[in-house]
Structure 1
Amino acid sequence: MNAVPSNGRHVVFATTGSLGDLHPFLALGNELKKRGHRVTLATSAVHREHVRAAGLDFHHMRPDPEDSPAFHARYMHPKTGGEFVYRHYLAPAIRTSYEDLAQAAGKADLLVSQSLMALAAPLVAASTGIRWISAVLQPMSFFSLHERPNYLPLPLLSWMCGRSPELHGRVFHYVRKHTEEWVRPVLDLKRELGIAGSAAQDHPMYEGQHSPSRVLAMFSPLLGSPQPDWPQPAVQTGTALYRQEQPASPELQRFLRQSSLPLVVFTLSSAASNDAGDFYRDSLRAAETLGVRALLVMGGLAAGATLPQPLPPWALRVDYAAFEQVFPHAAAIVHSGGVATSFKALQAGKPQIVVPHAHDQLDNGLRLSRLGVAAVLPGRRTGARRLRNALQAVLADRRMQESAAAAALQTRGEDGVARACDEIEEQLGHA
C-alpha cells in the first residue's frame, strides 16, 4: 500500500462493470495522487492489474463477472441486459459487496461511488457515517422526466414520453415498481441494517443511487445539459478521460501513415466486444466494397474472432489502440456508443456511426445524432450491406463533417478530471 502524505487524505472509489466504468476513476485517482492524496479502487478482481498499473491501491469488491460468452451475451442483451445485470448479477451479491466495501472504506475519509453499479455504497455510507458522494458517467443515468427515455422497449412510447414529462412520469411510476423486484436483495439488506428516514424509501436504481452531499455529472454538456429534476447537489464536471501514455506500435504507426485512402476505425466498447457477433467481419466487407482502409480494434473475447488470414494490406486488426492517437487519422469512426468512446470521437472531430448493443449506448447514440455528428444503426447485428450504406452516406455528408469539426472545438475547454477532483477536495474539507 502507498503511504498517506502528511497533508493528504484517503479516498475510496467504488465501481464495477467494464473498463468504461473503471477508467474515469483511474483518471481521478491519478490526479488526486498528484495532489497528495491516497486512493483506493474497490472493484472486481478482473480490474486488479489495471488499478495497480495506474499506481493506485486495489481492494477486491465482489461480484466478479464470468469471462464466458454466455455471461456476456446475457449482460449485453439489448432487451433483457438491464434485468440480468441487476436481478442476476449485482443484487444477489449485495451482502458480499457490502462487506468488501465496508472493509475498504473503514479508515477512509471519503467514499466516491459510481451511480447505478456500486449498489453497496449508499448502504455503507448510511450505516458507517463515512462522507459519500456519487458520480454519474452518462446522462441517461439521471432518468430525467424532461428527456426522452430511450431505455423503453417501444420507440413510439419513448417518443411520446419525450414530448410530455407528465406522461413520462406516469410511465416511470410503473418502471419503478417493475424494477423493484430486480433489486429486492438490496432492499432487504437496507431494512436489516436499519437504514431509516427518506433513504429507506429510495429505489437503489433511481434516487437511491445519488448522494445527498454531491453528485458529479461526469459527462460532456454536449451529450446532456442539466435538467430541472436532476438531484439538487449535482455538478456537471465534464468527461473524465483516462489517458494512457502508451505509444502506438510501429506496425500501427506505419498503417496509419501508409496510404492516402480514407481510414475507418471499427471498434466496440470493452463490454460489447465480448458479444461482438459478426460485427468485425461485416466491417471488413463494408470497407472492401467502399475501397477504404479498415482499422479493427478488437479487445475482449472479440480478440479471438476469426477473420481472413492474412488480412488484405488495407486492413489491420489490433487488440488495443489509444483512441486519442488513432481517431484523428480517421475519416469516420464506427463504434457501439460507449460514453467515453463517443466523447473521444467528438474530440477528434470525426463523423460517427453508432451501432448500439445495450444499456446506455442507444441513448448516447441518439444524443450524438441530435448534435448532427453521427448516424445510428439500431440493432447490433447490422449486416455488411447496411453498414456499407451507412458508411457511404456518412463519408459523403459534408454537413455532418462540419458539425463534427465544430463539436471538437467545443470539447477543448473541458477538463473533467480537474473539475471533478476540485469537487472531491471540497468534500474532503467537509469530511
Structure 2
Amino acid sequence: MKALTRVKILIVAAGSHGDVLPFIALGAELRRRGHEPHLFAIAVFEPLARQAGLPFTALGSAEFYDGLLRHPDLNHPSRSLRVMAQAMEHTGATAWATLDAAVVPGQTLVVGSTLAFATRSLAERHGLPAVTVHLAPAVLRTLHTLPRHGGPVPGARAPRWLKRLFWRLVDDFLVAPTLGAVLNRHRRAVGLAPVHRPMGDWLNQADLVIGLFPDWYAPRQPDWPAGLVLTGFPLYDSAPGMDLPPELESFLAAGPPPVAFTSGTATARALDFFTASAEACRLSGRRGVLLTRHADQVPGPLPPDVVRVDYAPFSRLLPRCAAFVHHGGIGTISQALAAGVPQLIRPMAHDQFDNAARTVALGVGRQLPMRRYRPAAVAAALEHLTDDHAMKRRCAEVAARLVADTAITEACDRILALVPRR
C-alpha cells in the first residue's frame, strides 16, 4: 500500500483559548502521524503549542491580545464584529506575509478556523488544498431552523423570503462594513477578487469543511454544505498530565462539590459577573470556584467558601462540581456535557446564544440573560439545577455519549485524505 506524502500543514486558529485548543489537538495528532503541522495564532498560545510539540508562529503579541480582551465592545452582540475586524486588520498584513513565505509548492495544505480568512486567500493564491474547521453550528447558515443570535431571528416556520431577508440584512448592515471591508482590503492588496458575502457560501469554499460538534447536538440542516463532515466535540483542554492547581485540590477536598463560574477567556471585563456570582454563593450557602486569570475582575474580600483560580482544566474540575455557570462558549459547553454537570448559561455575544439554546433544548441546563444575572436570581437558578433529578439523569445520559472521544482522530483522517500518496 502506498504511503502518504509527508506534507507541511499550516494551521491558522483565530480566537481565544477555547477557539485555539482544538487546533492544538489537531496539530498534535497530525504530527504524531508523521506530518509537519505548524500552528499560527496569538502569541499567548505558544506555551500550549510547545507543550504539545507543535512549531508555532505568533500572529499578534500578548499585549495586543490583552488589550483586545479589555475592549468594552468585545462581547457585545453586534458591536463585537467591528472589534474583531479591527483585530484582523491589525494582524492581517503580518499574517499574510508570514503564511505566504511558509508555503512549499506541491507540499503544503492549509487548515483554518472560521475567521481565519487568510487561509482561504492563501489556498486560492497558491492552489493549495484547504480545510475549514467550524467549532460551533451557529456559523452555518440555513433557510430552515436558523441559529439563535442576540436579537430577533425568524422562527423555523417563518417563510423563506423572510429568512433570506434576515441574512441579507445581517450581511449588508453587520458583516459588510466590518469583516467584509477588512477582508476585501486584504484581498485587493494581494491581487485577489473581492468577496461579496464572506459569511455566506464563500465561508465554506474549501476542499473539506469540518464541524467539530456532533449531529445530536446540532441536527444537520438540508441546506448546510454538502461536503460538511461532523466529527463530534474535540474535548481537548490541556496538555497531557496537567493537574489541578494544588490550592484548588485542597479546596475541593475540604467540603461538598462547589459551583464553578467562568465568563470565558475572551474577556477581561467581568467584574459584575463575578461579584454577582460570589454573592449568589453567599446567599445560597454554596461553595464556589471563580475561574479567571484577571484578579482585578474579582471582588474582595470573597466569602469564606469561595476561591479564585487562574485556570483549571475543565475535564478535571467539572466532574467534581455540583453545577457550572458560564457564558456559553462551545468548548466550555462540550466539557460540561462530557462531565455530566448541570449548566447555567449567561450568553453575551457571538455563537453563545445559539449554544445556550441547544444546551437548554437537550434538557441539561438553563439560560439566564445578562440583564437578569443578579445574586438572588442566580441563587434560585442554582437551587433548581441542583434539585432537578430529571435534569441530572439527562446530564448523565448525554455524558455517556461522549465517553468515546474520536473527533480529533476522525478529523485528521478526513484532512489527510486530501494528501496524495507516493
Paired residue for 2:43? Answer: 45
Question: Which residue identity is paired with 2:398?
Answer: A
Aligned to 1:120, the other structure's residue is in SS state helix
Residue pair 2:209, 2:227 contacting (<8 A) in 1 also: yes
Structure 2 residue identity aligned to 1:268:
S
1:389 to 366, 376, 380: 380
SS at 1:75 equivalent:
coil
Q: Percent same amino acid among aligned pairs?
A: 30
Provide the residue aligned with 2:100 in structure 1.
102
Aligned length: 414
Alignment equivalent of 1:18, drawn from 7, 11, 16: 16
Shift of 1:239: 1.5
Describe how 1:384-423 pairs up with structure 2 within 5 A. 384-423=375-414
The 8 Å contact of residues 12 and 41 in structure 2, kept in 1 or not, is answered as: yes
Deviations along 1:146-199, one digit per CA (max 9) or x if unpaired, are: 223422523xxx153664444212211222222222222322443454546xxx
> Structure 1 stretch 384-393 or stretch 364-373: which is displaced more?
384-393
The equivalent of 1:234 in structure 2 is 228
Question: Is the alpha carbon distance of 1:79 and 1:404 closer, same or farther for their aligned partners in structure 2, counting shifts above 3 Å?
Answer: same
Task: Evaluate the alpha carbon distance shift between residue 15 and residue 288 of structure 1 in structure 2; reply closer, same or farther with a 3 A threshold.
Answer: same
Alpha-carbon shift at residue 104 of structure 1 (Å): 3.0
Partner of 2:319: 328
Secondary structure of the structure 2 residue equivalent to 1:13 = strand
Q: What do the CA deviations read for 1:335-381 (whole angstroms, capped 9, x no partner)?
A: 11110110110011111000112111111111101111111112267
Counterpart for residue 117 of structure 2: 119
Residues 342 and 153 of structure 1: CA distance in aligned 2, closer, same or farther (over 3 Å): same
1:168 aligns with 2:163: yes
Question: Following the alignment from structure 1 to structure 2, what is the Cα–Cα distance between the partners of residues 430 and 193?
Answer: 32
Determine if contact 1:19/1:270 at 8 Å carries over to the other structure: yes
Q: Do structure 1's residue 288 and structure 2's residue 287 form an aligned pair? A: no
SS in 1 for 2:385: helix
| Corresponding position: 1:247 with 2:239 | no
Alignment of 1:305 onto 2:330:
no
Q: Are 1:190 and 2:187 matched, yes or no?
A: yes
Change (3 A) 1:281 1:62: closer
1:217 to 211, 216, 222: 211
* Structure 2 counterpart of 1:27, one-letter code: A
Query: Are the counterparts in 2 of residues 266 and 295 from structure 1 also a CA contact under 8 Å?
Result: yes
Counterparts of 1:311-322 in structure 2 under 5 Å?
311-312=303-304, 314-322=305-313
Q: CA deviation at 1:91?
A: 4.3
Q: Given the superposition, is the C-alpha separation of residues 50 and 288 from structure 1 closer, same or farther in structure 2, using an over 3 Å criterion?
A: same
**2:333 match:** 342
The amino acid of 2:183's aligned partner reads: V
Separation of aligned partners in 2, 1:328 and 1:185: 42
Answer whether contact 1:339 1:364 (CA < 8 A) is retained. yes
Q: TM-score if structure 2 supplies the norm length?
A: 0.90
Instruction: Tell me the CA shift for residue 57 of structure 1.
Output: 0.7
Going from structure 1 to structure 2, the CA distance change for 1:307 and 1:181 (only over 3 Å counts) comes to closer
TM-score (norm 1): 0.88
Give the aligned residue type for 1:53: Q
Gaps of 5+ in 2: none
* Cα pair 1:149 1:162 within 8 Å, conserved: no
Where 2:308 maps in the other structure, the secondary structure is strand
Q: Secondary structure at the match of 2:164?
A: helix
**Equivalent-residue separation in structure 2 for 1:188 and 1:310 (angstroms):** 48
1:203 aligns with 2:194: no
Counterparts in 2 of 1:121 and 1:202: CA distance versus 1, 3 Å: farther
Shift in Å at residue 201 of structure 1? 4.6
